């Protein structure tokens, strides 16, 4: 388990579910750049997964794609049978894939509840159980990707938030149960990331959502998958071992800043909505400006 500082993950093997696009793909590319051999899984988009793998191979040899449908127990079992048969050992498993129905709770169908919980709870735990024998010889780590909807209300996210909250609880229990056996578990909790799923969720409001991030996020930026992959990669390092059992925010300070960002939200309400003439906001103390303060 030695690696150079430039390629600190040299000799490591990392499995990333949902690596064909979004955060999973960006994480795979970043980890390959740090020296890791990556195994990316996809559900349907084999070509996109292959393109990710090609990019990873230019950075570190051995990258490969595997089909995995987390809705199907057999598919999870079959993946680990293939890995076992190939003699694969794992240093890190990143449970990143997710899918849900973004709807108000009263509109949800039972099959949507079952599917969301199958991916993020039932088969997340099965994945952890089946991955454990491959992780144990290397003192490996399970990283679970949660989301901001477990800490604050996001319209249409109640179901996914419920599943991800359960996943976070499983991470804490895995940390306690597997820690004595040398395997650690940690959760990572991103805020906004500009991916296909958030574009689907926000629909026609995506541009406004993105603009709101750029105007009000503490870093004045709408996070890309590459931005969000930075902290996920940090959690793969040996030095993150003492984060065992933690759910680590990966939001650039955006979540803590939400109450403060309220100060920008009112400024973005169109004047017509409150029926007043455009106000003079020059001296509005709540409007935090981006230009440097004058002394
Ligand atoms: N985007 C955000 O703003 C945001 C914020 C907080 C947390 N997160 C979390 O970050 C993670 C990645 O999100 P993302 O936005 O990058 O996702 P995404 O762009 O929607 O990509 C989803 C990935 O999961 C795979 N997938 C979908 N259904 C699957 C299934 N049934 N079994 C196995 N794999 C499946 C997809 O494979 P195919 O390409 O083959 O379909 C794809 O690789 C998720 O856990 C999400 O909840 C995202």
pLDDT digit string (tens) for 121-133? 999 999 999 999 9
Is 2 among the domain residues?
A: no
Model pLDDT, residue 74: 98
Show Cβ contacts of residue 147 under 8 Å, excluding neighbours closer than 6 positions.
Answer: 98, 157, 160, 161, 164, 189, 190
Report how far ligand 1's centroid is from the alpha carbon of 103 (Å): 17
Indicate if the pLDDT at residue 147 is higher than 80.
yes
Model pLDDT, residue 59: 98
Is 46 among the domain residues?
A: yes
Is 127 among the domain residues?
A: yes
Alpha-carbon gap, residue 122 to 162, rounded angstroms: 13
Is the C-beta atom of 24 inside 6 A of ligand 1?
yes
Is 6 among the domain residues?
A: no
Structure-model confidence comparison of residues 4 and 34, the more confident one: 34
Report how far ligand 1's centroid is from the alpha carbon of 82 (Å): 23
Is the C-beta atom of 21 inside 6 A of ligand 1?
yes
Is 208 among the domain residues?
A: yes
Dihedrals phi, psi of 253, to nearest 5 degrees = 90, 0
Indicate if the pLDDT at residue 82 is higher than 70.
yes
Model pLDDT, residue 270: 75
Dihedrals phi, psi of 184, to nearest 5 degrees = -110, 160
Report how far ligand 1's centroid is from the alpha carbon of 295 (Å): 46
Is 5 among the domain residues?
A: no
Residue 30 near residue 226, CB atoms below 8 Å: yes
Is 55 among the domain residues?
A: yes
Indicate if the pLDDT at residue 230 is higher than 70.
yes
Phi-psi domain of 248 (left: phi exceeds 0; alpha: psi -120 through 50; beta: other): beta
Intra-chain end-to-end CA distance of the chain, in Å: 52
pLDDT digit string (tens) for 182-207? 999 999 999 999 999 999 999 999 99
Alpha-carbon gap, residue 183 to 198, rounded angstroms: 32
- pLDDT confidence of 99, banded at 50, 70, 90? very high
pTM of the model: 0.94
CA angle 138, 144, 148 (to 5 degrees): 155
Indicate if the pLDDT at residue 10 is higher than 80.
yes
Residue 75, domain CATH: 3.40.50.720
Structure-block tokens of residue 54: 């090609």
Indicate if the pLDDT at residue 288 is higher than 90.
no
Give strand pairing partners of 41: 66
Model pLDDT, residue 271: 75
Model pLDDT, residue 272: 78
* pLDDT, the chain, mean: 93
Is the C-beta atom of 44 inside 6 A of ligand 1?
yes
Tokens 């150079």 found at: 4
Please give the helix or strand (H or E) that residue 261 lies within, else none: helix 258-268
Residue 94 near residue 40, CB atoms below 8 Å: no
Dihedrals phi, psi of 46, to nearest 5 degrees = -60, -40
Give the residue from 47, 2, 1 showing the smallest Cα distance to 21: 47
Is 8 among the domain residues?
A: no
Give the burial string for 57-83 (b: 16+ CB within 10 Å, else e): eebbeebebbebbbbeeeebeebbeeb
- Please give the number of the atom of ligand 1 that sits closest to the Cα of 160: 47
Q: Which domain holds residue 174?
A: 13-274
Domain count, the chain: 1
The DSSP secondary-structure symbol of 121 reads: I
Report how far ligand 1's centroid is from the alpha carbon of 100 (Å): 9
- pLDDT confidence of 18, banded at 50, 70, 90? very high
Show Cβ contacts of residue 23 under 8 Å, excluding neighbours closer than 6 positions.
Answer: 96, 145, 190, 193, 195, 225, 228, 229, 232
Indicate if the pLDDT at residue 102 is higher than 80.
yes
């Amino acid at each position: 388990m030695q690696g150079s500082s430039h390629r600190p993950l040299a000799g490591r093997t990392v499995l990333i579910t949902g690596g064909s696009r979004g955060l999973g793909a960006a994480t795979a590319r970043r980890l390959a750049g740090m020296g890791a051999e990556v195994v990316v899984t996809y559900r349907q988009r084999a070509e996109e997964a292959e393109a990710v793998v090609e990019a990873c191979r230019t950075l570190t040899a051995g990258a490969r794609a595997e089909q995995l449908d987390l809705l199907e127990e057999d598919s999870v079992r079959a993946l680990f049978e293939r890995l076992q048969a190939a003699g694969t050992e794992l240093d890190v498993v990143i449970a990143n894939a997710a899918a849900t129905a973004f709807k108000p709770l009263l509109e949800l169908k039972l099959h949507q509840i079952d599917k969301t919980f199958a991916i993020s709870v039932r088969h997340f735990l099965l994945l952890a159980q089946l991955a454990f024998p491959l992780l144990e010889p290397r003192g490996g780590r399970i990283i679970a990707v949660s989301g901001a909807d477990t800490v604050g209300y996001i319209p249409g996210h109640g179901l996914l938030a419920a599943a991800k909250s359960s996943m976070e609880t499983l991470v804490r229990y895995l940390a306690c149960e597997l820690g004595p056996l040398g395997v650690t578990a940690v959760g990572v909790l991103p805020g906004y990331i500009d991916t296909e799923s958030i574009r689907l969720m926000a629909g026609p409001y995506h541009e406004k959502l993105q603009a709101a991030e750029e105007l009000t996020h503490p870093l004045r930026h709408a996070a890309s998958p590459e931005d969000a992959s930075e902290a996920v990669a940090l959690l793969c390092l040996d030095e993150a071992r003492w984060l065992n059992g933690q759910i680590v925010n990966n939001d650039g300070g955006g979540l803590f800043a939400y109450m403060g960002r309220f100060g920008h939200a009112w400024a973005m309400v169109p004047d017509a909505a409150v029926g007043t003439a455009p106000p003079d906001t020059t001296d509005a103390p709540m409007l935090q400006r981006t230009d440097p303060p004058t002394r």
